[in-house]
Structure 1
Amino acid sequence: MRVSTANSYDNTVSLLARRQAELAQMQENLATGKRVLKPSDDPVAATLSETAQNRLSRTQSDLRSLETARTSLQQAESGLAESGELIQKVRELLVSAGNATFGPSEREDIARQLEGLREQLIGVANLKDNAGRTLFGGLGGAATPFVDLYSASGNGVQFEGQRGQAAAGNTSLPQTLDGNAIWMRVPEGNGSFTLSLDPSNTGGVSTSVGEVTNPGALTGADYRIDFADVAGVMQYTVTNLITAASNPMPGQTGVPYTSGMTIAFDGQSLQMSGPPAAGDRINLVPAGRTDIFSVVQDAVSALRYTGANDSAHRTQELARTMTELDAGHDRVLLARGRAGEWLNRADSLDTLLEDRSVDLKTEQSRLEDLDLVKGISDFQTQQLGLEAALKSYAQVQRLSLFQMIN
């Protein structure tokens, strides 16, 4: 079978064009540093590379979210530290307010300082982060979560946010804290029960904050301690207002009173001091919850209290507010410790996500990138082969019968 010269030339030109296209492709790979520029170059590698790219995008998104949460937590931790310092200043003022030599002017000066610290506490509770989100608004719901309604007709500070906070995830942390749990859930009294003097008292009796001696014996009932003068002897009687109705408790009826004595009943005890007057009363009720702002305001009200038993009332109320203030401070310290733990976790998560990003970038590079040493070698080999083919084709193309005749 004969092959025509024209057909041979056409095949050679087609082969040279294909080799030149391959050389151009190799040159493009060298210029970009990529082995896979389109899915058709290597379908398997392209698919795996796209998967790695998607995972890398999610990881980088998690890193940005983590950095935002870390910034918010740092600002929240700083706010909690400031809150703790303010509460400590309040405590120092309450200690100084117990000075028996202070008169109305000194007590009024302390009351004004306490009001200023209370306002600062509210300001801390309403702090916002760099993005304008409240740091202690819980799950959100209010631009100003703590609203001060204290007035003649108001009822103190109210929490207008949503209680609770977002849970920490495997790669995320909450960006806001539950301010309601930090400042609005302070145990009243000693945490189990609260002692207070009846407003009608005229004597000077007061009590300690009391303590629980046997938790299993607590009844959760309301009690009243009444004082009476019987034949010149001051006596007290304890009445359980729920289970005993108006009947005095056995063993706590008509007991002679002496200042500084400690009494115990139904798993709880308290110390009574000062001279009572006939008809005076002490009330004991199960502890509820109050807020740190009301605690400070109660101390202010106690310092400004005027009445027949103002000294005993101040002693009683300042002792109670001091105990509640310490309980509130403990909750702030607990929240600050939790924020610190989350910041430590943020550092660990940051390291984990950064390492994951490096691994994904390495995997993507292994799938897509070109081995430059091998690529340059292949390019030079291809270039040399193309040049040789072009030269040989040029020599063959000049061959003809007329050249042989001549």
Structure 2
Amino acid sequence: MPFALYTLALAIFVMGTSEFMLAGLLPAIASELDVAVGTAGLLTSAFALGMVLGAPVMAVSSRRWPPRLTLMACLVVFAGSHVVGALTHVLSLLLITRVLSALANAGFLAVALSTAITLVPADRKGRALSILLSGTTIATVAGVPGGSLIGAALGWRMTFWTIAILCIPAIFGVIRGITDSAAQAETGSSSPKLRAELSQLATRQLILTMALGALVNAGTFAAFTHLAPIVTETAGLAEGWVPVALVMFGVGSFLGITVSGRLSDQRPGIVLAVGGPLLLTGWIALTALASYPVVLMVLILVQGFLSFGVGSTVIARVLYAASDAPTMGGAYATAALNTGAAAGPVLAAIVLAAGLGVLGPVWVAAALAAIALAFMHEIRPRSRSVPGHRT
């Protein structure tokens, strides 16, 4: 595989670490800025909102921009937003930096997805995309717990500084590994008109699949964002166990996306038919058994596996449903999943404010998983074959 793919994966690892790291930093941020934990959780929603808005906007804009320049600009804005975030003492400004960094993240991801498939032969596009997405799963395994450990030892601001510093090798990697000419020639010669790509949003199958992606991700983020207080308050563990819990979730997510990646192209119906009910059952079990530390850790691992296994399968189905929109399909998938990432913490914050306890966000996840099952029933019969797939 080309070196450039791993460079892009490095950048996505850094961005994924930034996106997920707040799950272990929210109590410290809330305490220092003197706000409720539920209010601090809106920082996750702000990031997701920026991703929702940024993905389609940047995907449209990047159709005319040189890929290398766009990728570099996004990384610079992303790094700068974290520098400002590390310096500010005002929640509103921190929220703004999260939106800006998310816009840069969305722009980078939109361009990276379209650029990656131009770097490899046509029959290896799936492998190229899996390398890119591995950056996100590795972030949950290593980056997020690492960020939490840095935050616990040196303060949450140092975590923001670390993210900004890690952007530097990614920028140099893009400069070295990405050439504008090849990617532009490929995308420019094969892309349909923008109006034709946007018209795909009128198709029932695409809308249903995007809704499913939003529901699954909303449940994941509702629970994951507020995992720290469940570990410390419900299970009664010390704060040092929060990074352990995040590692367990990350390992589960990596295993889930790896296993489902082998099935989602040819057997998506099986993944959804088995994984969907198990995902719902797992959230319910977590609410009932969270006070038992060992069981909680096992369930966190399992839910990471199921959430990302089902979620990554949905990503594939969105891209297949949007097969006639090659430059916008990634934006549709990103927007759908981040709509869920924005809505989940908001719903969790509402439940927490209503006084339903620290397990309230997990009940939100269970409710959303139950709704998602209905959507899975709608799309599963139509997803037995892979449009355009060659064996």
TM surpasses 0.5:
no
Higher Cα Rg, which structure: 1
Q: Structure 1 or 2: larger helix share? A: 2
Band of TM-score, shorter chain: under 0.3
> So what's the TM-score if we normalise by structure 1?
0.24
Q: Structure 1 or 2: larger strand share? A: 1
